[in-house]
Amino acid sequence: MISTNDITVLRLGHRVERDKRITSHLGLTARAFGASSIVLAGDKDPSAFETWKSVTARFGGNFTWRYEENPISWLRKISKNNEVIIVHLTMYGKNWKESNKKIESNKSLVVVVGGTKVPAEVFEISDYNISVGNQPHSEVAALAVYLESLIGSIDENEHFQGGELTIIPSDNQKIIKNTDD
């Protein structure tokens, strides 16, 4: 299993007018399924950062975010680091179940998720081009399935400490506990 402290999601090609909600959900999914950070590339969008900041403050955890102006240069640079594995989630990639078996668990991971057309160089730079199905579908769904398969279930009580609120699982009602209580 990969350590949750070592997973960064790179969101390529964010477009403010078109992708605001999907990018916001991509970051929330990355956080909820165990990634430690997200890097936004494309249009600068402070609204995504505000969403991630608010949710992390309210529900806890050590999730971080930043903007990358030159994502391809950044990927090229980190691809030379033998301690980092670059995984590109794409519907054109190899099967995720088989590919996960090959990924070394002692290395950091950058998971690349595209928005607009992904430059061909991303396919070349990536150590793995992985598909969660070879049909068009949501990048948010692909990220959730992929992280769950890679990390497994995370202990929410341990992983999301320090928040203002805690959800208490229930069969028939909404129970939110304020951590100050």
Number of domains in the chain: 1
> CB within 8 A of 152, min separation 6: which ones?
1
Q: 82, 75, 77: which is closest to 108 by C-alpha?
A: 82
Domain encompassing residue 94: 4-178
pTM: 0.91
In this prediction, residue 134 carries a pLDDT of 85
Q: How confident is the model at residue 16 (pLDDT cuts 50, 70, 90)?
A: confident
* pLDDT tens-digit series, residues 132-160: 988 888 899 999 999 998 888 887 878 88
Lowest mean pLDDT among 3-17, 19-33, 42-56: 3-17
Whether 9 has a pLDDT exceeding 60, the answer reads yes
Name the residue with tokens 């996960």.
100
What's the CATH code of the domain at 19? 3.40.1280.10
